[in-house]
Amino acid sequence: MTPAVRDRIWRVLSDWFPNEADASIVILWADSAKPGGQAAATLSLPPIALVELDGMLATLR
């Protein structure tokens, strides 16, 4: 998936997300510049932040 397609999909999901109850969305993609070679974005209730911890991605609530 190209970055442009991923961004368009994420915009649609971000617009849709507030209308859902008890929903979570996670998108992952390969990115050699990120910890573990993987990038991620989330939409969730409660909000979850992704943080780098010892070269890995971890969740922070």
Kindly list the domain boundaries of the chain, sorted by start residue.
3-60
Nearest to 27 by CA among 13, 16, 41: 41
In this prediction, residues 18-39 reach a mean pLDDT of 88
Confidence of residue 48 (pLDDT cuts 50, 70, 90): confident
Confidence of residue 13 (pLDDT cuts 50, 70, 90): very high
* Averaged pLDDT, 42-46: 84
In angstroms, the Cα distances linking 19 to 9, 10, 44, 50, 61 are: 16, 15, 12, 23, 21
How confident is the model over 32-57, as a mean pLDDT?
85
